Amino acid sequence: MIELEQLTKRFAQHTAVDGLSFRVQPGEVLGFLGPNGAGKSTTMKMLTGFLAPTSGTARIFGFDIQRQTLKAQQLIGYLPEGAPCYGDMTVQGFLAFIAEVRGFRGAEKRARVARAVAQVELESVLGQSIETLSKGFKRRVGLAQAILHDPQVLILDEPTDGLDPNQKHQVRQLIQRLAHDKIIVISTHILEEVSAVCSRALVIASGRVVADGTPFELESRSRYHQAVTLVGGAGLDEAALAALPGVAGVERNAREHSLTVLAQPGQVIFPQVSALVAARGWQIKEMDVERGRLDEVFRTLTRGEAA
Ligand SMILES: Nc1ncnc2c1ncn2[C@@H]1O[C@H](COP(=O)(O)OP(=O)(O)OP(=O)(O)O)[C@@H](O)[C@H]1O
Q: Does domain 228-290 have CATH number 3.30.70.100?
A: yes
Helix (H) and strand (E) counts for the chain?
11, 14
Distance 18 CA to ligand 1 centre (A): 13
**Which contacts qualify for 81-86: CB closer than 8 Å, 24 or more apart?**
81/41, 81/157, 81/158, 81/161, 83/130, 83/135, 83/138, 83/139, 83/141, 83/142, 84/130, 84/138, 84/141, 84/142, 84/145, 86/130
Say how far apart CA 172 and CA 238 lie, in whole Å. 41
305 DSSP assignment = -
Distance 40 CA to ligand 1 centre (A): 8
pTM, two decimal places: 0.88
- Nearest 5°: CA angle at 77, between 184 and 19? 60
What are the distances in angstroms from CA 80 to CA 36, 51, 67? 16, 12, 22
Distance 132 CA to ligand 1 centre (A): 27
φ, ψ of residue 220 in degrees (nearest 5): -65, -15
Distance 38 CA to ligand 1 centre (A): 7
pLDDT band at 304 (very low <50, low <70, confident <90, very high): low
Ranges of each domain in the chain: 2-220, 228-290
Share of the chain above pLDDT 90, in %: 76
**What ipTM did this prediction achieve?**
0.97
User: What number is the average pLDDT over the span 157-182?
Assistant: 87
Ligand 1 atom closest to the CA of 39, numbered from 1? 18
Predicted confidence (pLDDT) at residue 82 exceeds the cutoff of 50: yes
Minimum CA distance residue for ligand 1 atom 25:
36
pLDDT given at position 100: 96
pLDDT given at position 84: 65
Say how far apart CA 138 and CA 37 lie, in whole Å. 23
- Nearest 5°: CA angle at 164, between 160 and 168? 40
Q: Where is 265: in which H helix or E strand?
A: none
Query: Which residues partner with 296 through β-bridges?
Result: none
Q: Does domain 2-220 have CATH number 3.30.470.20?
A: no
Say how far apart CA 65 and CA 62 lie, in whole Å. 9
How confident is the model over 212-221, as pLDDT tens digits? 999 999 999 9
Distance 34 CA to ligand 1 centre (A): 12
264 DSSP assignment = P
Ligand 1 atom closest to the CA of 189, numbered from 1? 25
Q: What share of the chain is helix, strand, coil (3-state, %, to 5)?
A: 35, 25, 35
- Buried b or exposed e, range 175-197, using 16+ CB within 10 angstroms: beebbeebbbbbbbebbebbbbb
Q: Where is 236: in which H helix or E strand?
A: none
Task: Indicate if 228-290 has the same CATH topology as 2-220.
Answer: no
Contact of 15 with 8, CB cutoff 8 Å: yes
Minimum CA distance residue for ligand 1 atom 5:
11
Minimum CA distance residue for ligand 1 atom 11:
16
pLDDT given at position 83: 67
Say how far apart CA 262 and CA 227 lie, in whole Å. 4
Ligand 1 pocket (Cβ < 6 Å) reads: 11, 14, 16, 34, 36-42
Distance 42 CA to ligand 1 centre (A): 6
Which of 41, 204, 206 gets mutated to test ligand 1 (max ligand atoms within 8 A of its CB)?
A: 41
Ligand 1 atom closest to the CA of 207, numbered from 1? 14
Distance 45 CA to ligand 1 centre (A): 11
Which of 17, 20, 42, 157 gets mutated to test ligand 1 (max ligand atoms within 8 A of its CB)?
A: 42
